[in-house]
Amino acid sequence: MILHPKQLQILCQQAIAEDVGSGDATTLAIVPANLITSAHFINRQECICAGMPVVKTLFQELSSDVELIQHVQEGERCPQGTRMATIEGNARAILTGERTALNFLQRLCGVATITRRYVEALGNSKTRILDTRKTIPGLRHLEKYAVWAGGGQNHRIGLYDRIMIKDNHREMARMLGPDSIRLAVQACRNKYPNLEIEVEADTMDDVRAAADAGVEYILLDNMSDEQMTEAIRIIAGRAKTEASGGITLERLPRLRNLGLDFISVGALTHSAPAIDIGLDILS
């Protein structure tokens, strides 16, 4: 997934404005304007690296006299105590940006790390791990980038790039007639002929209706292993399958050979713990 430089710049400007306000009072009082220093980003627990482009952009917004030297690549596993990057240059800029840079880095490394655990739990299965839209508002592109860095794949970015007919949409569609899934799919095809369509299915009747309607994806929502096996048999290759709901790390070994195309996991973003990372000034 590509992070667009202009979007990163705007996001970092907003983050700096939020934290710095009228000025970093402590740093301005203590640190001479022309002092030069260096510091290392050190992780205090094992993680997958994600977010260095954000850190680089943040410090560039604070000062042109700061350089980030990255020692590990995005998506690389970092054992505890890894020197992930070195920041060199204007001391005021480094101290002012420290907390905000760490906030971004700790969050994104956390998302990448939990994603890697889910990916590895599938082993050599052809099933792929997907993220969801359960992201922090304003940070979706960054969090989906971190999922990508962790080895996962991105589901739709927003409401605009894929049709997804969920349970509440089906309730609304019942106003059109009893065959609500077929009618909803046809309405979406007519309105947005170039978008792929996914239907959330709760029952085997939903699965049959969605497959018969010719959708590209069918989401098997909160189904047991046995129900998903039956759903895959009914679909018979007519649509890609996605399992969602009740997905845990412990369950993945049982799902990896069912024949699912995708498993989407909201926990990659809504429950990822931050990684403990510090910025250590060199004395």
Range of 206's domain? 120-270
26, 63: one domain: yes
Specify burial of residue 250 (Cβ count, 10 A radius: 0-12, 13-18, 19+). Answer: exposed
Choose, from 166, 171, 225, 280, the residue flagged as catalytic: 166
12, 94: one domain: yes
Tens digits of per-residue pLDDT, 237-262? 999 999 999 999 999 999 999 999 99
Q: Is 200 a catalytic residue?
A: yes
Q: Would you call 36 helix, strand, or coil by DSSP?
A: strand
**In this structure, what is the dihedral angle of CA atoms 7, 13, 14, 16, given to the nearest 10 degrees?**
140
104, 148: one domain: no
CB burial readout 47-59, b (16+ within 10 A) else e: bbbbbbbbbbbbb
DSSP per residue, 56-114: HHHHHHH-TTEEEEE-S-TT-EE-TT-EEEEEEEEHHHHHHHHHHHHHHHHHHHHHHHH
| CATH number for position 220 | 3.20.20.70
pLDDT at 170: 81
16, 100: one domain: yes
Tens digits of per-residue pLDDT, 270-283? 999 999 999 999 86
Q: Would you call 196 helix, strand, or coil by DSSP?
A: coil
Q: Is 240 a catalytic residue?
A: no
Choose, from 24, 200, 206, 242, the residue flagged as catalytic: 200
Element (H, E) at 163: strand 163-165
Tens place of pLDDT per residue across the chain (283 aa): 789 999 999 999 999 999 999 999 999 999 999 999 999 999 999 999 999 999 999 999 999 999 999 999 999 999 999 999 999 999 999 999 999 999 999 999 999 999 999 999 999 999 999 999 999 999 999 999 999 999 999 999 999 999 999 988 888 877 877 889 999 999 999 999 999 999 999 999 999 999 999 999 999 999 999 999 999 999 999 999 999 999 999 999 999 999 999 999 999 999 999 999 999 998 6
140, 38: one domain: no
140, 247: one domain: yes
23, 65: one domain: yes
105, 193: one domain: no
Closest CA to 143 of 278, 11, 9: 11
143, 109: one domain: no
Residues contacting residue 139 through CB under 8 Å, at least 6 positions apart = 11, 107
195, 264: one domain: yes
| CATH number for position 65 | 3.90.1170.20
The domain total for the chain is 2
Q: Is 61 a catalytic residue?
A: no
Distance CA 123, CA 129 (A): 11
135, 230: one domain: yes
139, 266: one domain: yes
Choose, from 77, 99, 174, 233, the residue flagged as catalytic: 99
Choose, from 134, 140, 240, 256, the residue flagged as catalytic: 134
Tens digits of per-residue pLDDT, 162-203? 999 998 888 887 787 788 999 999 999 999 999 999 999 999
Choose, from 24, 61, 221, 242, the residue flagged as catalytic: 221
Q: Measure Cα distances from 122 to 194, 242, 256, 264 in Å.
A: 32, 14, 5, 13
* Residue 199 · residue 181 · CB < 8 Å: yes
Q: Provide the 10 A C-beta neighbour count for residue 142.
A: 24
